[in-house]
Amino acid sequence: MTTVTVNPAIPTRTSRFAVGLAVLRGVVGVVFLMHGYQKLFQMGIPGVSGFFTQSGVPLPQLTAPLVSVLEFGGGLALILGLLTPVVAALLAADMLGAILLLHLPNGFYAADGGYEYVLTLFGASLALALTGPGAYALDAVLGRARRS
């Protein structure tokens, strides 16, 4: 999928793809990092667990810390491009759970508590799980990108 160019100032399709994945990883990673930060350091695990309990999320004492750490650590891992396929798949599963357990009954629009925003994070995470991190990632530096 490499395109040869005459002018080195014009990026190839491959490099544009790598930059696109880096941008996607960075933006999605920051969103997850901040939501995990909010859960861990602002709401606290007891607050998240209480919210999960009220919302009917199964096993809130277990899921609250798992989701909080996953979103914080997973966001950081996406930003760095570390273990991207695995982390992104876990974050996609996290968002699928959020859609099914919390947002689906509220309809589509995020303003109404619906699944619009969470669906976007699900899709972006799934795309990263399927494509991998791209060339500008720690996974690529460590040689994991090809094996994933």
pLDDT, average across residues 134-139: 93
pLDDT given for residue 14 in this prediction: 78
Number of domains composing the chain: 1
Domain presence at residue 10? no
Within 10 A of 83 (CB to CB), how many other CB atoms are there?
19
Structure tokens at 59: 């096993």
Domain presence at residue 80? yes
Domain presence at residue 9? no
Domain presence at residue 1? no
Q: How far apart are CA 36 and CA 73, in angstroms?
A: 8
Residue 120 or residue 145, greater confidence: 120
Range of the structural domain that residue 39 is part of: 15-147
pLDDT tens by residue, 46-67: 999 999 999 999 999 999 999 9
